[in-house]
Amino acid sequence: MIAACLSCNHFTYTFIMEKAVPTMTPVADAKEGARKILLDNNRGGYTIPSPKLYPFQWNWDSGFIALGLSYFDKYKAFDEIRSMFKGQWSNGMLPHINFHHVDENYYPGPDVWGTKESPWSPQAPATSGITQPPVFGFILQMMAGRMSNDAEFIEFVKEIYPRLVHSHRYLYQNRDPFNEGLVYINHNWESGTDNSPLWDEALDSIDVTRARDVSALRRDLKSVDAGQRPTNENYKRYIYLVDLFKSCNYDDKKIFERCPFLIQDVLFNALLIRSNEALIQLALLIGEDASEIEEWNQKSIHTLNTKCWDEESGFYYDFDLNGNKKIPIKVSNGFMPLFAGACTAQQAEKLKDQLFTSFKNGNYLLCPSCAIDEPSFNPVKYWRGPVWINVNWMLYHGLKRYGFAEEARLVKQNSLELIEQTGFYEYFDPRPEIDQDHRGLGGNYFSWSAALYLDFTLNS
């Protein structure tokens, strides 16, 4: 793979398989480069996260992408969100992938998911059978910050709002078995942080003698170094869970009884809280009653703080429902209550301290996805250490929200430097000694890195 430098005022190309994928944009205008990525990755109504690696519409990617699009084409932003909601199930679930078109270059595709048989899945598009972190509430609210006087935007909010509430209601009615305000995820892919060490123990509890070997079916390793992706042993377990859900016909009650992976994830719940807050604000804008959402949110904030906060270490941890215990591993998910506004000033202070001890360790670039002092830290492996731009963006807003202006500025500065010096990669090596040609990891020409670069630079 040829990495390119933004200081070269021309395009270079990475030759992956049969087609050349443009990897970089002219430094002369990185904003223009970001815009070009979003347009090039657009497939008519929706945008893929990255050529080759992710050829369909992904749920939380789509939210961040819509925010980026809204800076230069509000209609494309509206279409992005409308396309996502085309895949919404009748029970309210917003799937993690919409397979709007056929593409053999991804595994697992629609046949593996087999969601057509489920009573809740839509006629079209074909979709996966799990969800992803709920981002659309806060994405719409962020857009409202610039567009609340735009009549077309208000009409659009009115159109999407009931579907958004339905997607939150689905979570509270189907994923909160103890009615405590914390929802569980049943697959690591639902977290968006696919191979985080948080999931190791639950995935290890799967009896792999009953799992299929899918290593030969994987497509991701054709374009990305295996050292930067989940292992084949991981994939066996990921597909074991998909097969299990299919055998339950995507009935959440049956899945809850049989699933070895039931985790109340801090990131997922914090984003739900942040999006609830956004829905309450948006309700004021369009004259809706938000009392149901207010009730959900109070309960969620309370339980996040009683069940996931650990006073001794000053950090938030996921909770494993099968093991009935916290998962005491420090990953960047634990900072997301800052973004949600769910912690007290004292808790926020402790989180900020953790950021500059366990996650920074001298000159490391912020914010590694896993604490550097965790034994599972790996600076190049997907969600086990590399920096992700969407996490940095949420962390930036969270730090600002609690008055940590200087710390927020540093997170933003690191994010912009990574992109401007290395490119619009999927994730980045945080180690200080790595030269910029080797920092960019995973997919390139990555849509949410481009979209959030626009928000970082146009909305500061």
Residues 6+ apart with CB under 8 A from 276: 137, 168, 293, 296, 297, 300
**Using the rule CB under 6 A, which residue among 189, 396, 428, 446 binds ligand DGY?**
189
Strand spans (E) along 181-274: 263-264
Known catalytic residue at 311? no
Query: How many CA atoms within 13 Å lie on the side-chain side of 358?
Result: 23
Query: Minimum Å distance from CB 388 to ligand DGY?
Result: 12
Count of residues that interact with ligand DGY, criterion CB under 6 A: 4
Query: Minimum Å distance from CB 227 to ligand DGY?
Result: 15
On whether the CB atoms of residues 12 and 25 are closer than 8 A, the answer is no
Q: Which of residues 126-185 bind ligand DGY (CB under 6 A)?
A: none
200 binds ligand DGY per the rule CB under 6 A: no
Query: Minimum Å distance from CB 381 to ligand DGY?
Result: 13
427 binds ligand DGY per the rule CB under 6 A: no
Give the residue closest to ligand DGY by C-beta.
189
Residues 202-241 vs ligand DGY: string with x where CB under 6 A?
------------------x---------------------
CA distance 83 to 95: 12
Known catalytic residue at 194? yes
Query: Minimum Å distance from CB 401 to ligand DGY?
Result: 28
CA distance 358 to 267: 18
Which of 194, 201, 292, 310 is flagged as catalytic?
Answer: 194
Which of 80, 220, 277, 426 is flagged as catalytic?
Answer: 426
CA distance 167 to 120: 13
Query: Minimum Å distance from CB 312 to ligand DGY?
Result: 33
294 binds ligand DGY per the rule CB under 6 A: no
User: Using CA of residue 126, residue 443, residue 241, residue 304, what is the dihedral sign?
Assistant: negative
Query: Minimum Å distance from CB 53 to ligand DGY?
Result: 7
Task: Give the C-alpha distances (Å, rounded to integers) separating 177 from 17, 47, 324, 340, 381.
Answer: 46, 34, 14, 23, 33
Q: Which is nearer to ligand DGY, 220 or 455 (CB)?
A: 220
On whether the CB atoms of residues 368 and 385 are closer than 8 A, the answer is yes
Q: Which is nearer to ligand DGY, 176 or 220 (CB)?
A: 220
194 binds ligand DGY per the rule CB under 6 A: yes
Q: Which is nearer to ligand DGY, 189 or 393 (CB)?
A: 189
CA distance 409 to 404: 9
Nearest to 90 by CA among 177, 159, 155, 174: 174
Q: Which is nearer to ligand DGY, 96 or 175 (CB)?
A: 96
Q: Which of residues 81-100 bind ligand DGY (CB under 6 A)?
A: 96
Residues 368-402 as b/e (b if ≥16 CB within 10 A, e otherwise) read bbbbbebebbbbbbbbbbbbbbbbbbbbbbbbbeb
Question: Residue numbers of the site for ligand DGY (CB under 6 A)?
Answer: 96, 189, 194, 220
Catalytic residue IDs: 194, 426
